[in-house]
Structure formats: structure tokens, C-alpha cells
Structure 1
């Protein structure tokens, strides 16, 4: 079987539906409960994008449908466990004619693990528009999917057995994901010396959902490869040693600003990412998500803990008491 045939076979394997990943059960007027939770490979807790999207579904269910989600700001306070449902508690903070604001607290085992503020606006399509131009990248049909790149490493006789084992796990996880990913440009350096990563992403086998749910799906997508792009830009490697080894990578906060109410996550979206700054064990990444026609759908930002395998200076011992 050729690589392309094997990838095609893998892509036909059963994967989780995005509607299942985002589904919450309403248990009271402003209370919702998760129905499925995903723990990514070697992660500290539940996938952050899933928590964001489920919180968005909960908040959207508590808003007048005439208002459209335009922004969210959230903090991850502690890792979520996949073994216990998350309860999403929505608070109705503001009910204006043009804007409404909701807060969402995600609770697990009595502890708040995540908080989010999100704002909804009555659309004003008659107002003037401006946006950055979409970067020039190969069309998604010309790009290799992640499954193919993992298979290439697995099938390479020169690959170390531990590397093969790692990518076999990644491949199994990737084919079960509801999101299809292709690398558009890797470690692209522009004229100003800014390093960027660019991915084509879309939902697998999904019907055309209504705009409010499309934005919840985008919340899920927005966390994929995001803070990890900072470690790649800094050339930190998992399993490495010393200053080149990555010892910890975890999201602190995340924000999205939506500038389109008419996009389809089942069609390819280009996610462009860069890292303006990193230091003191933290890094910030910025992103722009474009539809295939060049429309800037959303702008994203995220800060996370990012630590190398190096220790800081030892703390001075306290002076003995006289």
C-alpha cells in the first residue's frame, strides 16, 4: 500500500464528530455539563480548545440570537481531568441594546478550573471595513496533511524506535481528531525577520452549522498548535536536554476577536501564528484566521508557560537565628 493510499485509509477511520466534542447538557437555566472530554497525548489536562468551545456553547445558549459573539477572554486556572464532567456556570452580566456580556466559570470537583468573559454584539454590517491581507501560501490541495508527515517518519528505517513510537501515538490521535490539519508554511521568515507558522485547518465531515455554532467550533480550532508554535520558533524540543529541551508548555490565557459572522469551518481556514516575545518562563503568540477567499475571520492571542530544561539559581539559605 502506498503512502497516499494508507493516509486515505486512515482518514476514513472513525473520528470524533465536532458536535460531540462541543456538546453540553443543560441542567438548569444557567448551568451546563460537559458530555465528553479529550486528554491530548502527554498533556497535563483536558484540551483547552474543547473547554473554550464548550463554555462558548453554554454562553451562547444564554444570549438573544439577534446578538453575535464578537470577543472572548479567558484564563486557564488549573488543568481539567477527563474523568469528571465539567460544570459550566453562566452569569448574565450585561443586557444592552447593542451589546451583551456573559461570564462563564468552569467547575470540576468543586474547584474553578477556567473562567471566561465573552461579549455579543448586534451586527452593524453597514460600518466601514479594513483588514490585513491574507499571506500567500500554497492552496490546501497542494499541502501535505499531518498524517502523511507522521507516516513518513514511522516508515523511515533510519528513525529511532522511540521516535517511531512517539509518532505512532501522534498518528493514532490525529486520525481520531474532528479537525483536519495541513502545514501551509513551516518556520517562515518574512522581510522583517518575523518567524511565522501557517496551517490549513477545517472540521472533518460536518454539515453546515449556523453562525453561532461556527464560532464555537472556531474556539476549538483556535487552540490547536498555538502556544506550541512559540516553542518551535524558540527551537525547543520535547525530550531534549539543557537550554534546547522543552520541559513545560501550558496555556495561561487566551483571547479571540471575531470579525466575520459568515464563514464555514468545514471549509479550509488558514491559521497564521507568530511569537512577538518570550521570557521569564512565559511566551505570547498572536494569530490570524482567514477564510479561503481571504476574509479575516478572527484575530487570536494566547500566553502560556514555556520552560526549558534549565534550573534557576538556588535560593539563598536563611540566616540562622541568634
Structure 2
């Protein structure tokens, strides 16, 4: 990857006192042009075989850019995002922050991410002043489900061999994997940033890190609960790229678990009765919403538990809901994502 094309200026040396995710999400402020204009300091990650940049990169950098226009006493509580175009890992991204409102208790910011003059991503965020709700509060939160801890023998490492990935992930078996009903299944994993996030990063670095990995395996939940994830080989720049073998094993185990449920005796099959298994031909995120409930009560470099489920899929789209908890059971964020999920058709599907 060429620094000349992927960043506006050559990146400075990495700071050994910062976690890898801090360096990846670092921004450069373009004050001589516009004090509310920023760009990526370092090259952004484009996963092998992906159509564009990892969405979590853009989500997190938009949040980091908006935070630079917000007083330290304010914290993010919601962001609503739309993926407009696939981003390229070979072109710098420009982030323009628009200061919509700066009130006493709430502040609103809109950020557009642009490449080559085109908007590739847009988000509107709301920030709230700390402790502005008063001393008397209405409070409740869903309980974290009982699951094996990140170091339990039943929890499997998902090893991501690409050097651009700054997170660690450990997978738990799909809940209700034997059920014929996809909407009752839940995919579960532990996730955290590699290394230790610096004190200099503040709580802003931790929420940006959660925004980054909130897009991890998100829309893919739909194909997993249908047990039709089929990506044996991805192609990037006309070269075959093998999918990480540990992810492949994880997905195969999900399929094996799903076949262990009691079944009726098999009926004799004729060659004409066998139907080909559906194949996912496209999975693309359309929008992404994060509600931060406790933005100052977690560390992203400590294990966080995520649980994802899909209440609906149809018409070439699907919806996924994600809850994120600390190891102590504190619900720190709820995320919602809709995306395009198309199966391979006999005839070509319409273009996006």
C-alpha cells in the first residue's frame, strides 16, 4: 500500500505508548483549510476480498473527528450512520464536521466522509453533558446472559492474520443453533482492542474503539443464523485470497452443531429431489446505529461481550441487533444495522 495515495502526508512513526487501534484511528486536523476538516493520518484497513474499507474504520474516525469539536464534559450517546459508497484503501478520506447545535445539555454534530469529491459515509451524532440528568433518575438495563468467560475452554480464538486488524476476538457457540427458526438464534463473542489504550486517549479513544469493532461480523449474523455462510475464496484485484482458516473452522463448527439435532429417518433421495444450498452473493451494510449507554464505564482494551440476533430478513435486506456488555455485566451499548443480503440468483441481480 502506498502512503502517497492512502494518506495526504506521510504518516509519522507509531507511538509505542499507544495501542494499535489508537494509531490506526489517528486523525490529522487540516486547520489551514478548515478547523473542522480532518483526514486519516495512517492507511485504513481494507479486508482481503472486501469491496471497500472496513466500515468500522470510517465509523470510528467520524466519531473521533466530532469529539474534537466537543467539550470534554460531553459524551457521545447516539450516532446514526449511512454507508453511501464503498471506500478505497488507496485514497485519503476527508472528514468534515458540521456543528449543528451546541446546547447546555446536548450537542449535535454531522460528519461527512468524502473520497474523490464523493460522500462515502455520513453520520449524525448526539452528545450529552455528563450528569445532566439530575440526581433522581429512571434506571433499568437488560441483564447480561450467562456465558463462558473469555478464558473458558469452550471459547475459541478467532485468529485474524491480517496485520491491519487491531482487535482480538473469541467466539462462543451460537445460542439455539439447533432451532429451525433463524430469529431465535444468537451469535456471541468476546472482543477487545489489542494492547493497552493510553491515558492520553481518554474515554474518547475507548468509545471510538467500540465504534470500530461494533461493525465486526455484524451483518454477517444473518447468513450465520441461516447456516448459509459460503465464502470459500474471496477475490481482490483479480487475485485469489483465502479466507482466514480459523474463521472457516468456526463457521464449519456452527454447521456441524446445527446438524447434531435429532432428525427423522432420512427418506430415499432421487437425483431430482436434491436442491442446491443457497449461496450468499452479496453482503453490504446500509446503515449503522450505536446507542452508547455508559460511555465512561468501560475500557475497550478489556474483554467486552457482544451478542447479536436478527429479528427480520427479506426483500434482499436484513436487520441485526447487537448488545455490548462489560465482563461485570454492564450494558454499555446497543447497536442496530441493516444491510443488503442477496443470494446467488439464476439471473443477474440489479445493481446497487
Q: 2:167–2:191: 8 Å Cα contact kept in structure 1?
A: yes
Q: Which residue of 2 aligns with 1:258?
A: 292
Q: Select 2:196's aligned residue among 206, 209, 217.
A: 206
RMSD between aligned residues: 2.3
The TM-score normalised by the length of structure 2 is 0.74
* Alignment counterpart, residue 171 of structure 2, candidates 168, 180, 183: 183
Distance 1:313 1:178, change over 3 A: closer
Q: Deviations over 1:142-171 (max 9, x none)?
A: 122112xxxxxxxxxxxxxxxxxxxxxxx5
Displacement after TM superposition at 1:235 (Å): 2.0
* Pair 1:65–1:233, CA change in 2 (3 A): same
> What does 1:299-310 align with in structure 2 at a 5 Å threshold?
299-310=334-345
SS at the partner of 2:207? helix
What runs of 5+ residues in structure 2 fail to find an aligned partner? 1-18, 233-274
Deviates more, 1:278-287 or 1:123-132: 123-132
Query: What is the TM-score with the length of structure 1 in the denominator?
Result: 0.81
Aligned length, in residue pairs: 276
Cα drift, residue 311 of structure 1: 4.0
What is the distance in 1 between the residues matched to 2:156 and 2:349? 46
- Measured in 2, the distance between the counterparts of 1:26 and 1:313 equals 44
Q: Output aligned runs, 1:1-322, within 5 Å.
A: 17-28=20-31, 29-35=35-41, 36-124=43-131, 126=135, 127-142=137-152, 143-147=155-159, 171-173=160-162, 176-188=164-176, 194-208=184-198, 209-239=201-231, 244-260=278-294, 261-311=296-346
Q: 1:190 to 1:68 in 2, by over 3 A?
A: farther
Q: Within 1, Cα distance between the matches of 2:80 and 2:322? A: 15
Aligned 8 A contact 2:37 2:96 in 1: yes
The answer to whether the 8 Å contact 1:243/1:310 transfers is no
Q: Secondary structure at the match of 2:156?
A: coil
How much does 1:269 deviate? 0.2
Give 5+ residue unaligned stretches, structure 1: 1-15, 148-170, 316-322
